[in-house]
Amino acid sequence: MNDIPSPASDDPARQTLQLPAVILTDRRLNLNDLRVLMALYLFADPTGRSSPTRDTLASLTGLPASRISTTTSRLAGMGWLEKTSGSGKSTTQYQLPTPGQRPPGLPSRDAADPDELRSRIQDIVKEELTRLNGAGHLAGRDISPEQRLNLKRFRKPSST
């Protein structure tokens, strides 16, 4: 039985994530930041309000609940969200930028550079591979030697 609450909408169109593309170009974000942001966006309504519990975020991201608070505070410090703590055992409310908004502190551009996006995705994959340290799986899923070779394409070329 799945104990993770439903996302903000049961509408199948809202079951996909709508993220600002600038998330991929913000080099301040580490893998934990990205995981938590994606989980928060999964529960966000069209105005960017999101209120999953810490335990729900921990279940979705694979992070300990204590790391969720640290990560959301870090994201708030970077301008990626605003936190409003609930009183007592109330759930914290998060306000996220909607896909058309930019968080403060990022250089202004009309559109994300495709080469920069590709480079950022390569960095994220490399970080995940390093985290796994040759464990032979990615995000809890076993991968074959052929898939591992395909992942090598995403690594940055060495500068020699």
Q: Give 143-154 pLDDT, tens digit per residue.
A: 555 555 555 555
Rg over CA atoms, the chain: 17
| Four-residue CA torsion sign, 66, 46, 86, 22 | positive
List, for the chain, all residue ranges whose pLDDT scores fall below the cut of 50.
1-3, 12-14, 110, 136-140
CATH numeric code, 1-102: 1.10.10.10
The predicted structure's pLDDT at residue 13: 45
Instruction: Determine if the pTM surpasses 0.75.
Output: no
The predicted structure's pLDDT at residue 138: 46
For the chain, residues classed under CATH 1.10.10.10 are 1-102
